[in-house]
Amino acid sequence: MMMKYLILAFCFCTILLSGCENTDLQIAADAGKDAVKALTLSDKDMQEIALQAAQYSDKKHTLATPDNPYAKRLHRLVDQNLQDGNVRFNYGVYISPEVNAFAMANGTIRVYSGLMDMLNDGELRFVIGHEMGHVMKKHIRKKIQFAYAVSAVRKGIASQNSNAGDVARSLFGGLAESLINAQFSQQEEKEADDYGLVFLKRNKFKQQDAVSALQKIAKLGKSHTFFSSHPDPDKRAERLQEQLEGRSLSIEGKKQNMIGKCKAFLANNFPSLFRQLVKWIPWLTENRSH
């Protein structure tokens, strides 16, 4: 909601700026379009933006060739997991000492070789599952909307004939970087962690590797750049350990547990109403576990 008000305010400012003598009218008009588009992006728009951002990033980094040992290792780990539902994943490795990984809305997943050096195969599978989770849970949609809003602001600056405008004209690079370095909320990170854990279980991999992966990352120290865009790995590891020991539920598990209690309450106390609701909402009688 806050972003909507900011974008509307920006559109108003753009209209005002268009009357200024030193304003580039075309760029100012483009800025207004971006501000509106941030609120109205279609799934097709999302896929196209993600594809372009991934291509931009691949050109900027050293992408491992298929015969590279890192690429061969990653291919071995994900060979049977190229698709989930309608999403087809495109995996790749950046040759860089950086400890990081990211995903794009179109299923592009990139892992840095520095992270691969740090983790064993099972731990790396969890990281891959985690990044898949960000895609499948559509966390990146909001990031693209925000990136477009930022792009609108930068174009507004560029519409003024100034040094700041010259800098702001490299627009897509900034948008792509904001997607690659996007910071997810704690809730989103938990959902992606849960997906990663389910990913390991579904493929009959060792689930404990999820915990050890986060524990290893935690040893990097809080001053590491990884911590600027991710919640505390130690706490995330503890949370997943509690799930493995049956002491807590995943976010989806808690949601289904709450729904189950509501259904039971209605069925036991208001059976007639519950029967009517089932006619309107058939899935009330289904077991909708993750």
Domain boundaries, the chain: 2-244, 251-285
pLDDT of amino acid 171? 54
| Cα-based torsion angle of the residue sequence 275, 280, 282, 285 in order, rounded to the nearest 10 degrees | -30
CA distances from 122 to 57, 127, 179, 231 (A): 27, 9, 27, 21
**pLDDT bracket for residue 151 (50, 70, 90):** low
What are the tokens at 39? 């609120």
Give pLDDT tens digits for 276-289. Answer: 776 777 666 665 54
Give pLDDT tens digits for 89-103. Answer: 999 999 999 999 999
The whole-model pTM stands at 0.73
Residue 282 exposed, middle or buried by CB count within 10 Å (0-12, 13-18, 19+): exposed
pLDDT of amino acid 26? 45
Task: Bin 101: left if φ > 0, else alpha if -120 < ψ < 50, else beta.
Answer: beta
Give pLDDT tens digits for 44-93. Answer: 877 888 888 899 899 999 999 999 999 999 999 987 778 888 889 999 99
Q: Is 48 a catalytic residue?
A: no
Catalytic residue among 123, 131, 188, 189: 131
More reliable by pLDDT, 270 or 94: 94
More reliable by pLDDT, 104 or 229: 104
Tell me the three state secondary structure of residue 239.
helix
Residues 128/195, Cβ–Cβ less than 8 Å:
no
Using the predicted structure, report yes or no on whether residue 174 has a pLDDT greater than 50.
yes
CA count, 13 A, side-chain hemisphere, 147: 25
